[in-house]
């Protein structure tokens, strides 16, 4: 009984320590709160450029908020700046992945992308993985992986303590291990997929070389997602969904 009690104490301590590490939240100061409210008033008054200016000033302070990026995306969309709207929505989705209004506006913005049909479709398995991964923030995915790890260890010791039958014991370990490795794989996949991901914010001609007079390889329109490979001065090397690589001006793309 003493060993079991010590085990519970250890697991509970680790559990609380893990969640405390995610407990801190960034709260805006009074000035930013007022500015955020003023931007909302300007948006309702259809002064979208003023709203964008105020929201962008808040972003520059380092305040990270899903609501901030969502409102900024709405303002850009109303102002006709599709690329920047999608970029803002992408940033908001990382913080508010299950917000229905955000998902609706994001999907509408995607439907406005020119040449969208040329972007291709991901394999069915990739779409399933992405749909699951995109339903959670990075922090939430880490919590899920930790819980699966906790359940695996808990099942192991619980089976020993209550002397489960070999079949029940093995089944519980296999199931929890599958959950652990499955969610761990999806988390690693999510990190890898979103690393250096960017959105084209204005029309861009992708060149074979980082030179203005170089031959154009392909064209990119606002809203397209690309992966940044290499920055070089005022140019960045990007990879399109189909693997094509080219150089575009750095001011035509925004990193998510």
Q: Tell me the DSSP string of 118-147.
A: GG----HHHHHHHHHHTTS-HHHHHHHHHH
Q: What is the pLDDT of residue 29?
A: 73
Q: What is the pLDDT of residue 235?
A: 97
Residue 62 buriedness (CB in 10 A; 0-12 / 13-18 / 19+): exposed
Q: What are phi and psi of 87, to 5 degrees?
A: -60, -45
The structure's pTM equals 0.83
Which pLDDT belongs to residue 144?
93
**Beta strand pairing status for 225-232 and 245-249?**
unpaired
Residue 231's φ and ψ, nearest 5 degrees, are -90, 145
The pLDDT value recorded for residue 30 is 83
pLDDT (0 to 100) of residue 1: 44
Element (H, E) at 105: helix 100-111
pLDDT at 197: 94
CATH fold of 30-114:
1.25.40
Tokens of 174: 């296999």
- The superfamily in CATH containing domain 197-255 is SH3 Domains (2.30.30.40)
pLDDT 10s digit of each residue in the chain, 256 long? Answer: 444 455 445 445 555 445 444 444 456 678 889 999 999 999 999 999 999 999 999 999 999 899 999 999 999 999 999 999 999 999 999 999 999 999 999 999 999 998 654 555 667 787 888 889 999 998 899 899 999 999 998 888 888 888 889 899 899 999 999 999 999 999 998 888 888 999 999 999 999 999 999 999 999 999 999 999 999 999 999 999 888 999 999 999 999 9
In terms of phi and psi (left: phi > 0; alpha: psi -120 to 50; beta: otherwise), the region of 205 is: beta
């Amino acid at each position: 009984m003493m060993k079991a009690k010590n085990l519970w104490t250890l697991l509970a301590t680790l559990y609380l320590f893990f969640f405390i590490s995610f407990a801190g939240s960034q709260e805006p100061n009074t000035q930013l709160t007022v500015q955020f409210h003023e931007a909302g008033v300007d948006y309702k008054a259809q002064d979208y450029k003023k709203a964008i200016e105020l929201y962008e000033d808040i972003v520059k302070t380092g305040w990270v908020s899903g609501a901030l990026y969502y409102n900024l995306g709405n303002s850009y969309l109303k102002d006709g700046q599709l690329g920047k709207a999608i970029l803002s929505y992408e940033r908001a989705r990382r913080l508010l992945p299950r917000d229905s209004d955000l998902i609706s506006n994001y999907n509408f913005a995607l439907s406005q992308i020119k040449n969208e049909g040329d972007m291709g479709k991901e394999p069915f398995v990739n779409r399933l993985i992405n749909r699951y991964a995109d339903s959670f923030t990075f922090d939430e995915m880490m919590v899920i992986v930790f819980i699966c790890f906790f359940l695996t260890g808990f099942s192991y010791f619980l089976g020993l303590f209550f002397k489960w039958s070999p079949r029940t014991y093995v089944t519980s370990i296999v199931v929890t291990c599958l959950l652990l490795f499955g969610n761990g794989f999806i988390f690693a996949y999510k990190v890898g997929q979103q690393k250096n991901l960017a959105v084209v914010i204005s029309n861009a001609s992708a060149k074979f070389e980082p030179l203005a007079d170089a031959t154009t390889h392909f064209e990119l329109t606002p809203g397209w997602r690309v992966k940044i490979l290499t920055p070089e001065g005022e140019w960045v090397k990007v990879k399109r969904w189909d693997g094509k690589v080219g150089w575009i001006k750095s001011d035509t793309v925004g990193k998510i």
